[in-house]
Amino acid sequence: MNDIKNVFLTKTISDLLSKEYNMPEIKFVFDEITLNSFEDCLDRNDSSSYNKGLNSIDYLKSILNDYKSGVDGIYICIHDSSRFFFLLQKLIEVYSNDFDRKLLDPSNIIRSIWLRMGTSDISNVEKFLERQILFIKNYKVLPEYRELFYFDNNDILAYNIRENDDFFETNKNIVFSIRRSSNNYLEGTRDYEFPSIHFGISKENGEAISYIYGIQSISNIKDNEIKDSLQSIRKSLRNKYVSADFIISLGLFLDYFYDIGIKKIEIPVLQVFNYPYHEILSTNISDSFNSYTDSDIEEIESLYKNGNRSDRVEDYMHTKKMVSRFVNKQDSISYNKTERLIYTLYELINRYDSVELVSDAYVQSDNMIIELNGKTNILNNYQKKEDHFKI
């Protein structure tokens, strides 16, 4: 237990306060007894780590004082510190057992996982951590690739993709695609891709639940012949709030999950710490990119075109990619996680009796809750390609 406390103090808190992440909004409140015990967890033989830990303890003591004094803030109160650190340790263990993870240091997940928290998660952090552990355990419940349906003599496929290795969102990502029948013999071929859906699978009170954290267009694969075959359906779904492809993608998601026995969907519509994090990330990446002079950029771009892959070149290309993904994108990222997802779900609820709104966000609960009473059959004439397993 002391090891995980050491990681929390010397890495998690230290990272959250560093210039790179600068996330002081994430404020953990421990009782005085726990705070006074933390120094015993630190390694006195490692002066750098020890000093980081002491700084973190001092910071956490200041947070407790602010909390007691009624200073405004969003506080994550740790009511049972033993349970809290047990769950953090379990989280790292189940993550580390998933051998194809890319992160070199699994403890990174307990720095960034808080960005997923909704308002109800903040009031019950232990339940939040239990759910995150189930998400990881259930990574392999769905196969990475599945042929789901026939549509217009073509195949509808589901690709279960792992992304977001920093763990800022659920790093399960499902993409529904159409493959032309003439390409059946080419494994992995996708001729038309719909927006991807970030999700996790949990099991609570004996019931399997899927949580959806966002819907995002990440592909430009749009075969014209397939697009033409979809045109009448896309036209019937057209509205001013969201693209028809987003509605189709989420409809396919709901139909797939209904087939495998998941009939409850929850959408955490407010991820409290996510927007301020992306604001800071945008500034940091912009500052990093702006540190390159015009002559630096010209030289590095030339080296890259000629096949040079030195650390300097790779660092620049990575920063350039990050600029396109994150600089001044905090509003669009937030939109993908909230308004776009909610608009898409409302379209499905309004159009299909099989999609029932059980709890409306901001009205009845913090999360939007959907029950599936059947399938949407959103593409009208698609048919199940093979028997689906059950969760």
**Angle, vertex CA 205, rays to CA 202 and CA 207, nearest 5:** 55
Give the pLDDT of the chain (391 residues) as one tens digit per residue: 678 999 999 999 988 888 777 777 889 999 999 999 999 989 888 898 999 999 999 999 999 999 999 998 889 999 999 999 999 999 988 887 765 555 446 677 788 888 888 878 888 999 999 999 998 888 778 888 888 888 777 888 888 876 555 445 566 789 999 887 766 655 567 788 999 898 999 988 889 999 998 888 777 788 888 888 888 888 888 887 888 999 999 999 999 999 999 999 998 876 666 666 667 677 778 888 888 888 888 898 898 888 888 888 888 888 888 787 677 766 666 565 667 788 899 899 999 999 999 988 666 567 889 999 999 999 876 777 666 667 6
Sequence-distant (6+) residues with CB within 8 A of 372 are: 254, 257, 258, 262, 263, 264, 265, 354, 355, 356
The values of phi and psi at residue 265, to 5°, are: -125, 130
Domain boundaries, the chain: 2-137, 145-270+338-384, 274-333
DSSP strand E in 163-222: where? 172-179, 192-193, 196-204, 207-216
Structure-block tokens of residue 78: 């740790």
Name 215's bridge partners: 197
* Residue 2 half-sphere exposure toward CB, CA atoms < 13 A: 7
Q: Are 103 and 120 spatial neighbours (Cβ–Cβ below 8 Å)? A: no
What single-letter amino acid sits at 307?
G
Element (H, E) at 4: helix 2-7
> DSSP per residue over 44-99, as a string?
TT-HHHHHHHHHHHHHHHHHHHHHHHT--S-EEE-S-HHHHHHHHHHHHHHHHTST
Closest CA to 176 of 140, 221, 139: 221
pTM of the model: 0.79
| Residue 174 to residues 39, 164, 259, 263, 337, Cα–Cα distance (Å) | 43, 13, 16, 17, 15
Our measurement of the distance from residue 41's CA atom to the centroid of its chain's CA atoms, rounded to an integer in Å, reads 31
- Cβ–Cβ contacts within 10 Å for residue 305, how many? 8
Alpha helices by DSSP H, listed for 218-360, are 224-236, 244-259, 274-290, 294-305, 311-326, 330-337, 339-351
